[in-house]
Amino acid sequence: MNLRHVPFHRPSIGQEEIDEVTSTLKSGWLTTGPRTAQFEREFREYLGVPNALAVNSCTAALHLALSALHIGPGAEVITTPLTFCASVNVILHAGATPVLADVLADGNIDPESVASLITERTRAILPVHLAGLPVDMNAIWSLARRHRLLVIEDCAHAVGAHYRGWPIGAGNPASGDYSDAAAFSFYATKNLTTGEGGMVTTHREDLAERMKILCLHGISKDAWNRYSDKGNWYYEVLVPGFKYNLSDLQSAIGIHQLRKLEAFTETRARYAALYNQLLANSPEFELAPDKADCRHAWHLYMLRLRLDKLDINRAEFISLLRERGVGTSVHFIPIPLHPFFAPHLQDGRNQTPAALALYPRLVSLPLFPAMSEEDVVYVAGAVKEIARETRKAKVFAVSGGQLK
């Protein structure tokens, strides 16, 4: 094979984003202002939700939602072990207790495991749409209804995904099921990027209002309007809030990324289908999972190694890909394996055997719209070449019929 370099990710930034940032710089208004208002409006329209608040990360979006929902000390929040640390860190920042449910074969949170962990202290479920594949939200909403729980969706991977015909974050208007909040990430590697950034959406007006106040120091805009006779310098701080606002410089990028999102998503789906096709007949791998009733956002192509059929482990597989010029990543090191979580493993819960068994088999291949079809073919070729060179030798039955 001729060596090619395919990085794990490269963002798709066009002239439109560059021009908008330049205009923003020249406009004299750099922080949260008209472009952020426009980005929020267009994001609301894209999802079909009444409220969207732009923030400086998905981590901020999740923390803001938990805080505004008064989830704090004494409360338990059930989430998944197969996620980025931020999903769990924010629960701890809020002063609440994270409880880990196990995952299904597709890597998403297992609703039955969630059900088995609900106690009188449980306040919320925080599902993560891993790789952009929607969680079985009907099962989550049904649990939430039955046990009066809040639902906060971590949609960091899932902008552009659909659950049963509706955009992720929009709930299911047909059945009247809604999560309380949905948090999106616009981090550099995500499907829509502003470099760093995020968005939190909600159908609840009360929650939208509280998040808006908490997002910017706890300053009330109402007080601003009410006492405008005092001059436009006047404001009141109602609660000690956070500093989570998104700047116009970042929103300038987001406005154009959002307009390209449908095209990005289509390209991702096409490349994922090509990986599936090229790797379908390799028994050394299981393909990245998909679901018929959803639109996958294909943030990640998470290949699963059949370690029983290979003579190498995942680390060796990754370095052999690197030797062939292919960048990869692993999503994710399960939460229970991180030192910060060690104290939480002592209470008997947070045992997640399925997630821990899946983890050593996971390798995320390059999947981004700025790569070419030839790149996808090259990566799949490299993957298959490694499999050919490292597959376990077949052991045939020897006399006596014993199979070794």
Say which amino acid occupies 274.
L
3-class secondary structure, 292 = coil
**What is the pattern of x (binds ligand PLP, CB under 6 A) and - over residues 169-188?**
----------------x-x-
Report whether 211 contacts 183 (CB < 8 A). no
Residues found in the chain = 404
Pick 83 or 245: Cβ nearer ligand PLP: 83
Binding pattern to ligand PLP, positions 185-214, x when CB under 6 A?
x-x----------x----------------
List 24, 32, 36, 57, residue binding ligand PLP (CB under 6 A): 57
In 3D, which of 381, 378, 367, 134 has the Cα closest to residue 271? 367
Closest distance between ligand PLP and the C-beta of residue 128, in Å?
Answer: 5
With CB under 6 A as the contact rule, which of the stretches 40-48, 66-74, 150-158, 243-251 interacts with ligand PLP?
A: 150-158
> What is the rounded CA–CA span in Å between residue 292 and residue 287?
15
d(CA 211, CA 214): 5
Binding ligand PLP by CB under 6 A: which of 24, 32, 59, 202? 59
CA distance 115 to 54: 32
Question: 108 is written with which tokens?
Answer: 């998403």
The secondary structure element, H or E, covering residue 182 is: strand 181-185
Which of 26, 190, 230, 243 does the annotation list as catalytic? Answer: 190
The answer to whether 190 is a known catalytic residue is yes
156 binds ligand PLP (CB under 6 A): yes
Note whether 153 binds ligand PLP by CB under 6 A.
Answer: no
Helix 248-279, helix 373-390: angle, nearest 10: 50
Is 86 one of the binding residues for ligand PLP (CB under 6 A)?
A: yes
**Nearest CB to ligand PLP, comparing residues 128 and 168:** 128
Summarize as ranges the residues that interact with ligand PLP (CB under 6 A): 57-59, 83-84, 86-87, 128, 154, 156-157, 185, 187, 198
